[in-house]
């Protein structure tokens, strides 16, 4: 029966997270999340951001963008806010200088990022536009 205890349904946040990221939200919260209020953490992976209950590992709120689905995200903290930066991919036609341990190389692409702010005391993960690109 869809939506029952044995079948949470395809739209359940836990199912959506695992299908999109191929990892458990509890692992993402522990490995790279930021502690939030009430025993939760803000976690991000593959373009999804979630408030994850650390006791159960279940995401309470989930927000994401399809255009970020296979690109990395990182979470950081400043004061009472979590900041989530997700790669948007390379900007075509850009030329940058890439430094490596061997030599400097000129490349044809520049990585771009979307940066979102998420207040740690807010129970919802905001789906607001990025504050920086």
Please tell me whether residue 93 adopts helix, strand or coil conformation.
coil
Domain presence at residue 8 = no
pLDDT digits (tens, 9 = 90+) for 8-40: 666 788 998 998 888 999 999 999 999 998 899
Select the more confidently predicted residue: 51 or 128: 51
Give CA–CA dist 44/17, Å, rounded. 10
Q: Which residue range(s) make up the domain with 114?
A: 13-119
Domain presence at residue 96 = yes
Domain presence at residue 130 = no
Which residues 6+ apart lie within 8 Å of 98 measured at CB? 104, 105, 106, 107
Give CA–CA dist 78/96, Å, rounded. 29
Domain presence at residue 77 = yes
Domain presence at residue 129 = no
- Indicate whether 129 pLDDT > 80: no
- State the chain's mean pLDDT as an integer: 76
Residue 94 confidence class, pLDDT cut points 50, 70, 90: very low
Q: What is the mean pLDDT of residues 58-85?
A: 81
Percentage of the chain lying above the pLDDT 90 cut: 32
Which of 2-6, 72-76, 82-86, 114-118 is the least confident region?
Answer: 2-6
Number of folded domains that form the chain:
1
């Amino acid at each position: 029966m869809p939506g029952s205890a044995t079948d949470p349904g395809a739209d359940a946040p836990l199912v959506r997270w695992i299908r999109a990221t191929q990892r458990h939200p509890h692992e993402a919260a522990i490995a790279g999340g930021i502690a939030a209020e009430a025993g939760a953490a803000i976690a991000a992976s593959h373009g999804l951001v979630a408030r994850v209950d650390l006791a159960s590992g279940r995401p309470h709120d989930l927000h994401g963008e399809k255009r970020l689905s296979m690109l990395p995200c990182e979470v950081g903290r400043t004061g009472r806010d979590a900041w989530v930066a997700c790669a948007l991919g390379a900007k075509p036609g850009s030329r940058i200088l890439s430094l490596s341990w061997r030599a400097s190389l000129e490349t044809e692409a520049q990585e771009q990022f979307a940066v979102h702010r998420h207040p740690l005391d807010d129970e919802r993960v905001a789906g607001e536009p990025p504050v920086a690109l």
